[in-house]
Structure 1
Amino acid sequence: MTTALPRAAFLLPPPELARALIGCELLVDGVGGVIVETEAYDRDDPASHAYSGPTARNAAMFGPPGHAYVYRSYGLHWCLNLVCGPRVGGAVLFRAITPLHGVEAMRARRGAQPDRLLCAGPGRLCQALAVTREHDNLPMDAPPFELRARASEPPIAQGPRIGLSRAAETPWRFGWRGSAFLSRPMPV
Structure 2
Amino acid sequence: MYLLDSFSPCKVTVALQKKLGSNVSFNSWLVSFVFAQSQPEPSETFTHNAQLEPNGKIHLYWKFNQTHITFEVHGNTTGWVGIGISPGGSMMGADMNVGWAKNGEATITDRHGVTTGNAYPPLDTEQNVELLGGSECDGWTVLKFRRQLAACDLQDLEFTTYTMRVIYAWGLDDPTGDDLSRSDYHTPVRRDSTDN
TM > 0.5 fold call: no
Q: Which has the higher strand share?
A: 2
Q: Which has the larger radius of gyration?
A: 2
Highest RCO, 1 vs 2 (Cα 8 Å, sep ≥ 6): 1
